[in-house]
Amino acid sequence: MLTFIRDISNKLLEFIKDDPVRPEIPRDFRVTDGRMVAALVEEEQPTAMVCVSFHDFIPEDVKDLNTTSVVPTTAVFYTIWSYKAGKGKELLIQAVREIQKSHPSVTRFVTLSPKTDVARRFHLRNGAIVFRENVDTINYEYAEPVKEFDTK
């Protein structure tokens, strides 16, 4: 089941401690001011988690996540991790579909990814393109995320 977390008291936020990409980002930052955490949950335990920030621009670095938008055009996935194989991809599929429904102004889905081979392989294998290489990050963009992620 897909769960969007927007409340700092949600018990699923305890799993933020497992974030391998951006462990330095505090829990409360992830669920305030145009940001949320999405989780795939089975038997009350997450199988994958992703942090999302909403903007009217494409961030180049983590500091840019501070400036969110009331009417966003871009959903930025800035960290993702999974506890079971294949669940990260499944989480992105479901999160994109729900964001498209709940935020109709969002037309772009991008990442703020570290410059690692793991991130590159994951995103390119799942249909993303390199939108921009920044000093410390890479923005991958999913031109048609639901279509690209569709496994049927």
For residue 145, what pLDDT is reported?
A: 52
Q: How confident is the model at residue 127 (pLDDT cuts 50, 70, 90)?
A: confident
Q: State mean pLDDT over 100-128.
A: 94
Single pTM value for the model: 0.92
**Residue 84 token pair:** 């079971």
Q: Please give the structure tokens belonging to residue 39.
A: 């989780």
List the chain domain ranges. Answer: 2-149
Tell me what percent of the residues of the chain surpass a pLDDT of 70. Answer: 94
Residue labelled with tokens 């980002």 = 25
150 or 75: whose pLDDT is higher? Answer: 75
pLDDT digits (tens, 9 = 90+) for 85-107: 999 999 998 999 999 999 999 99
Q: What is the CATH number of domain 2-149?
A: 3.40.630.150
